[in-house]
Chains A and B, each alone.
Chain A
Amino acid sequence: EDQVTQSPEALRLQEGESSSLNCSYTVSGLRGLFWYRQDPGKGPEFLFTLYSAGEEKEKERLKATLTKKESFLHITAPKPEDSATYLCAVRDSNYQLIWGAGTKLIIKP
């Protein structure tokens, strides 16, 4: 069964303390892996799409990487405004999206 698992469920960091969020997946025929940021009470905001193992994308303090089994969202020197829930989704060979439950990131000043 296709599945997406995000870890940890929640992560508390001090401002400036770099870390990574994990998205592991089992899916037949990956057609893309997507990262979103969601603020409380808002719709998810698109961050990155990755299509093949070895691919990397960056945006400000965020960098997403992809292997054949998982993706990492690296956060370098985070600021309090990076606090949000980060969602991962994969598109399978039928082009259906499968979502993880998200990681809630809290950055303390």
Chain B
Amino acid sequence: DGGITQSPKYLFRKEGQNVTLSCEQNLNHDAMYWYRQDPGQGLRLIYYSQIVNDFQKGDIAEGYSVSREKKESFPLTVTSAQKNPTAFYLCASSPERNTIYFGEGSWLTVV
């Protein structure tokens, strides 16, 4: 089935630790995105990529890093520099400048 797969669904991070969230799509979409969602707030853009080997910072990129080595994959690393990482993370993809579609999300909790 075509879609966007995020893994893991639940992830726990210790203080000072980097963690990576995986996002894979088989929709042949050019653009991919990472959003953060906190309770009662709208989606906030972390990073986006419109083509392979190129990506741009969103509104809240500090403490996060990404790579886009393959069209299908856009992993997000939450670094120890991100002081408040507990949130619901959403990966999305779209044909260029068109409707975006989301994965099922990943919960990250600091322990």
Contacts and interface: CB of A to CB of B under 8 A. Distances in A.
B2 interface: no
Q: Which range holds the interface residue count of chain B?
A: 20 to 34
A78 B111 CA distance: 41
A101 B37 CA distance: 10
Interface stretch (A12-20, A39-47, A65-73): A39-47
B104 interface: yes
A43 B99 contact: no
Given A42-B105, A43-B104, A46-B101, 17 more contacts: A31-B97, A34-B99, A42-B104, A43-B4, A43-B102, A44-B102, A45-B102, A46-B99, A46-B100, A91-B97, A99-B42, A99-B43, A99-B44, A100-B42, A101-B41, A101-B42, A102-B42
Interface of B: 4, 6, 40-45, 88, 90, 92, 97, 99-105, 107
